[in-house]
Structure 1
């Protein structure tokens, strides 16, 4: 049934999703008069959020101009914090990467140092992207730990000492203001778990019709991101998908970074394999080193990656049976052929055929850019959601 009332923010949603892209279509879908639609579109044009494009097909008379979201009117700063490296980037609202930077940075150095260091990269990134702070509409952070979405705070992250309950959004705003004094009013800062954001980006770009989607990241730790009906599923306080701390009963001697024994991450993560390779006399200090060994075809690394895939596959049998996803993406340092083979072996062997009949098990297509893309998309979807868009428009108009 057509909606009788629709605000400017709701009209923007219809345009962004392609449900209605001309003035006539907006009138038809919303039930609003021509003048009301025109007035609300005027608000969106004045804000720079809309633009006219080539006219649509004529049905007799002058063809209607098509409306589209103006993705060039602002930019997003995105940050991907990992255990030993961090990336930062400037992206357009359509996800286009305009400038990026990657540097070694230990997450264990603590939030104050890490956030200040990353913020110090922003001025040169904005200059490289050919833009300035006035066009930054928000900052998105991807972190390798559970995040309470309502507060942006991490909740007992096993591999991020000193970050538990730390006010990341506020401190990031403060660090940004110090290093980019021309920024003016504080910009919103959104924080989410890296696997959630990677899953969000991969699903939106490559599997938009998949209503149940899972991504598993295997690097220093192991985590999963779940997207249901186009929205990340985070659980009650951000703990959904933390499969790295599921206990394996036959490996109770393996000590995990969380302090427990027998966790999946203690035997099948990049960190675990790095320790096994180092013990065998093969110089390896991190999951990144394991990735390099795999790229070079190092036999022990290949064997251990396949075995790790089998252990992860054991756990994914339950995940897939519970969620019945259409796509399962493997990402992170170990996401290559040996690991993929190991996962598939156990998954198809132990799950019921009905569960995997329509399941596509693949590796990440975005690779190292997945978390950045997801962080930027998170910011855009948050800021241009109908109600929030209306609030921002009112502020722009002095209301």
Structure 2
């Protein structure tokens, strides 16, 4: 049904409809969004200009002028991704459709800072581009995840109890020699729950994803929206104090944290 009171659909929202297969003609876009023909044309022109959407004639029309069909071009470029951890980082090159083209893992010394690690990550991502035979393809975005709270506006760690030396350091500048594409940063559990929801075509409005790994964390979606909390710390429960861990040292430097008895490193110990 057309949107009655919401702001006009943006080019990004129009793109999402085409990408997800909900609309493949301008008429369908107009019906779903309530946009005028000229507004639809403007947004489609912007998307085709970026190479994200392809418009072709429908050869299966049975009469009259065939409508032009809109489709998502998953080969319009690539996306780089890095999941940065305390002792290991996972890297990947993806098509716009989410297909993994190349991947690698970087093991690092615990406590290494961004000035040392980030150049290694960008260099390895460039090598993965070469390995995927996509050198020269447009890099349309870079996605990063980190443990702990993230300042998504500045693109840096906000207050991580385990990533010492990373707080307040913007990570986008490290990619300046690799790409001018936008760099997006988020907490690792938030990135995971958003990816899970994306795979399920937004069919669920509420979800709780628990990341039980070396550390503990959760990604929370409620009412169809990611919940960050006023300080960006929603789901950061690993360093909550618990009586069961009283006096037990945690890797954050404190004691009594839930992670000190339930985190992966604690279980191994």
Q: Same fold (TM over 0.5)?
A: yes
Does structure 1 residue 242 correspond to structure 2 residue 236? yes
Q: Counterparts of 1:1-399 in structure 2 under 5 Å?
A: 1-2=2-3, 8-29=11-32, 30-33=34-37, 37-52=40-55, 55=58, 61=64, 63-133=66-136, 135-170=138-173, 172-174=174-176, 177=177, 180=178, 183=179, 186-206=180-200, 208-275=202-269
- The structure 1 segments of at least 4 consecutive aligned residues displaced by more than 4 Å after TM superposition are 1-10, 53-63
Structure 1 residues 11 and 274, CA gap change in structure 2 (3 angstroms): closer
**Greater gyration radius:** 1
* CA-to-aligned-CA distance 1:330-380 (integer Å, 9 cap, x gap): xxxxxxxxxxxxxxxxxxxxxxxxxxxxxxxxxxxxxxxxxxxxxxxxxxx
Structure 1 residues 213 and 10, CA gap change in structure 2 (3 angstroms): closer
TM-score for the superposition, normalised by structure 1: 0.60
CA RMSD of aligned residues (A): 2.7
Cα distance in 2 between the residues matched to 1:245 and 1:239: 11
On the 8 A contact 1:149/1:237 being kept in 2, the answer is: no
TM-score for the superposition, normalised by structure 2: 0.86
Greater relative contact order structure (CA < 8 Å, 6+ sep): 1
Structure 1 residues 188 and 63, CA gap change in structure 2 (3 angstroms): same
* Deviation (angstroms), 1:111: 0.9
SS at match of 2:48: helix
* CA-to-aligned-CA distance 1:99-152 (integer Å, 9 cap, x gap): 111131235111111101111112221111111255111211111221122222
* CA-to-aligned-CA distance 1:243-285 (integer Å, 9 cap, x gap): 112221233121222333221101011111121xxxxxxxxxx
Structure holding more strand per residue: 2
* CA-to-aligned-CA distance 1:57-87 (integer Å, 9 cap, x gap): 8686455343122221011110011222212
On the 8 A contact 1:56/1:66 being kept in 2, the answer is: no
On the 8 A contact 2:193/2:208 being kept in 1, the answer is: yes
Structure 1 residues 189 and 55, CA gap change in structure 2 (3 angstroms): same
Structure holding more helix per residue: 1
Gaps of 5+ in 2: none
